[in-house]
Amino acid sequence: MHCIHLKNTDPYFCLAAEEYLLKNFSEDIFMLWQSENAVVVGKHQNLLGEINYPFVRKNNIAICRRISGGGTVFHDSGNVNFSFIKNVKSPAEISFKQFTAPVVEALAKLGITATTSGRNDLLIDGFKISGNAEHVYKNRVLHHGTLLFDSDLKNLGQAIKVTPGKYESKAVQSNRSPVANILQFLKTPMTTGEFMQFLLEVQLENPENNLYHLNENDIQTIEKLSEEKFKTWEWNFGYSPKYTFKNEVEIEGKVLSIQLVVEKGVIVEAGIGGDYLSEVQTELNQRNLLQKRHDYYEIRKVFCDAENQIIYSFF
């Protein structure tokens, strides 16, 4: 098995690396990686319905979509991501436990008892420290997960904090759970970097495993995939299933109510009510919103002189 410590911390590059290694290699792979601040939604989720968009945008947190299913996760410099890519003969060989077991065993060497939940999470004393997901491609499976080691849990909570009822769709929804950092359970403190090195060394204890470094061709191909897919609006926002958005806010003592129907990230129906806007403004804005992306910059063009409070009402 190739063992890779990915040093690039761009979340789009890292997600592209997983797809590249899954589809272009024949060897089994174990990869460790970290990314800059990011929220990463599952393939079949409504991106805007899973994140606190105003908070995420104001704090320059990257917004990403991965190729696997499952729920939304938060990445930062205190979070460690692990990826297993394995050849399988049949779907019957695929199980979450098969891939989380090595992580549980590694944590046990540090004196930590981790258990699995019914939702493919790893827990310590009832607190979630790892969310996991999988994607199958031909005879290969990608299993990846987060490991909250020393994350900013306050930022995590704010970034994925959502208001119930705003978004309605058939998209997969995340299950929110109480979380904790692995660091607080360690008897002997270590840095995030030391923890990653420990996990890598545990895998390299197997003489059949070897350390693999991405070559120039690997890097160039991954960068191309990152630019052409993972960084695009069409993948991150436009891939969301059809949804209805509803919101009502009070601004300066007046009410603004909004209802949008969005397909492939584009507004196909728009309704604006309340007494904040005049009849003429309401009619004009409803018409101007049609066929626009449900996107901060597109909404801002329609309400060109509006303050962020009005624009953020649409998210």
Q: What is the pLDDT of residues 252-291, one digit of tens each?
A: 899 999 999 999 999 999 999 999 989 888 998 999 999 9
Q: How confident is the model at residue 305 (pLDDT cuts 50, 70, 90)?
A: confident
pLDDT of residue 195: 98
pLDDT of residue 32: 98
Averaged pLDDT, 127-145: 95
Residues 6+ apart with CB under 8 A from 96: 116, 120, 132, 134, 143
Averaged pLDDT, 102-116: 95
C-alpha span between 211 and 65 (Å, rounded): 28
**Residue 183 pLDDT more than 80?**
yes
pLDDT of residue 22: 98
pLDDT in tens, 161-171: 998 889 999 88
Among the ranges given (18-22, 97-101, 235-239), the one the predictor scored with the smallest mean pLDDT = 97-101
pLDDT of residue 16: 98
**Residue 97 pLDDT more than 90?**
no
**Residue 218 pLDDT more than 80?**
yes
**Residue 119 pLDDT more than 80?**
no
pLDDT of residue 117: 78
Q: How confident is the model at residue 95 (pLDDT cuts 50, 70, 90)?
A: confident
pLDDT of residue 111: 96
User: Tokens 């360690």 correspond to what residue?
Assistant: 186
Q: What is the DSSP letter of 30?
A: E
Alpha helices per DSSP H over 87-162:
96-109, 153-159
Averaged pLDDT, 40-65: 97
**Residue 91 pLDDT more than 80?**
no
Query: Which residues in 77-112 are b (16+ Cβ under 10 Å) and which e?
Result: bbbbbbbbbbeeeeeeeeebeebbebbbebbeebeb
pLDDT of residue 41: 97
Q: How confident is the model at residue 94 (pLDDT cuts 50, 70, 90)?
A: confident
pLDDT of residue 174: 82
pLDDT cut 90: percent of the chain above it: 86
pLDDT of residue 120: 81
Structure tokens at 254: 């007046």
Higher pLDDT, 119 or 299: 299
Q: How confident is the model at residue 157 (pLDDT cuts 50, 70, 90)?
A: very high
Q: Give the other-Cβ count within 10 Å of 227's Cβ.
A: 13
